[in-house]
Structure 1
Amino acid sequence: MAISVASLASSFTSLSFSSQISQKPYAVSLAHSKQFSFSLTSKIPRLVVSASVAEAPETEELETRENLLKLVKSRLPGGFAAQPIFGTGRRKSASARVVLQEGSGKIIINYRDAKEYLQGNPLWIQYVKTPLATLGYEASYDVFVKVEGGGLSGQAQAISLGIARALLKVSESHRKPLRVEGLLTRDARVVERKKVGTYSLWQHLIESDEEYYNGEYDDDYDRDPEPESDDDLSCGKAPSCRVIRKESLLAAQKEDLQRVVDLLSLKEHHARTLLIHYQWDVDKVFAIFVERGKERLYVEAGITLEEQNDNPSSDPSTEYTCEICFEDFPDEQTTLMECNHRLDRVFHSKDQ
């Protein structure tokens, strides 16, 4: 069965289309010079499409995770804890175990490249590289890290502390430059926990606005209400501040002074000078006394050795007031009895 399209082509020789812009008909003519026929029995040529995927360029720096896993296991026989240069770092909820080995400066975190693991964040990458850069070891050691817990920011800071501690096992001389940069101090700050029965500021403001705008008023609302009494005001929420009276403050200061005097065997004005210098922090005073010694404690507070060694009994000009006759006698003319009372020899010699 053959279908001739000559008759169909002749019907399309003159067609007109109206334009909505100019409202003028445009005539389109289809010229045909040859008649052609289409047979259903004829074979239709098949269109064959072939595609080939171009192979990605091979790069030596790109290593798969499987290759990194094999590399770590071959470099760390026995695991992380069995290595000689090992350090542990923590930050928030993150905990990192770090191993250093001599190499070309590779940093592998959880069997992945550091830049890939830290998502290319320059700040987090800088955290990891800072301890090595401080000592000039960027291309001298390979770093292998196993970290868990927390987010990427906390993990990066935990890794930094672990690398710094591992560098101390390389040489104890690294302690001073790392300490100056603050790389050996753990940041113990964490998010403060939520308290039971309290609201966040934003939630409290939202609830206050809803009560203000959505409140319903009674029909007999008084335009001039009576002022609230003191009893009504006292039923509100407890104040967020606490008043410290002068008596309680003086009692607390006296107690702290006595603690310092008893521990360091100081005079009261020396103990007060120490507490004022260290912002009245008794625990800090005791900590510095234990760690740095008594002399360093006094020097930082401005107390000289002559002042602390001042002993009234060694001063020949010291006088003693008799509790019986209320006369002043030089200290060398008195005798200290076993009951810790002083006996003035001049007065009793006169009585005899």
Structure 2
Amino acid sequence: MGTCYLMKGRENAAKPYRAEWYDFFSKPGKRKIGGTKTFATLREGNRWWQDMERENAAYFRGETRVRSCKFGAFATAWADDLAYSENTNKSYRSNVRALIKHFGEETPVAAITAADVRAMKADLKRRGRSDGTIRVRLVVLNKLMQAAIVEGLRSDDPTQGVERPAEVRHRARIVTLDEILQVVEKLDERLRAPVLLAWYTGLRIGEVCGLHIENLNLDRARLQIVQIMFQDGTERVGAKNGRDDQWVGLAAQIVEVLREHLRKFPPLPSGHIFSYVGRDGSLKPLGQAYLRRHFRKACEAAGLSGRMPKFHELRHSCATYLAENEASAYAIKALLRHSRLDTSQRYIDELEVDQLLETLDRVHGAQSGEPAEPAELAESAELVAA
């Protein structure tokens, strides 16, 4: 609507006043009538037109769209557009469904307040949810609100000012060289090479299962990360961070292991290097679930002390082994293909703290004749670090 004319009409005695309005987008000289409406009094017509002008201005400012955008539809569309890994997308969608269930599918995006967010946090605590669950839920809601701000659906983020539970990082269970050799002895011959490859190179489980023969060059002692196999058996071309030029160097020991594996177990027609014998007796590409399950059983059979390691912790073990042998953070970053240097530096920092605690243990033990308490060692380490 653009221009409105209120005039005295003749065709309706009960409502003698008529409003005519014209389209905003009509060409000059060819104005197209948008519609007509009749009123009993001139004041009634003026009030109606003022309301129409306010609604029209609100529409072009986006306020009408803001009021009509429902949280359920917006959050679902946002989660469907995510382009992370399979497991990450699955986690995001699960948290989005929980948020929709809490706030309501028909609630406008702009109507969610900081008080609503605090109420959600209190409700999760009351239901006995862990601090980690509450933190992830708030992080996902924060990302949703940031996307809503970008889309112009709201001007502020209601999660700001709502304190998140502190993130607790559990140290990885490091598998030593002696332990990995004990585990390998308990594995089927077909599974020994992929486990050793993960320990020596720090490959992720999807990268191990998705390795093809055309991406392996044993003469030059390196392999290329091209395919990644997901938990459901599907494959994606391209490394985790989207790069397709990721080459990984191979130590002489793992080169010999792979040569022996290929001599005993040739690649499948599909090109997969690692395989297993299915229940029907046919060879199938090695999958994540199968490898994880048999790795866990081998760890239990080997009688490893402490907590049983997860397969991904072979990657952490590789980085720790490099740090123990005085590899630089840049070397660890290059082999494990970290996107940030501080991720690689963390392994060196943790090793230095462990070495410091061992030194303090020896010093205090020599002075007092007995080992120091762990709390005292930790306090001493903090004082030295300061």
Normalization by structure 1: what TM-score?
Answer: 0.22
Greater strand proportion: 1
Greater helix proportion: 2
Normalization by structure 2: what TM-score?
Answer: 0.20
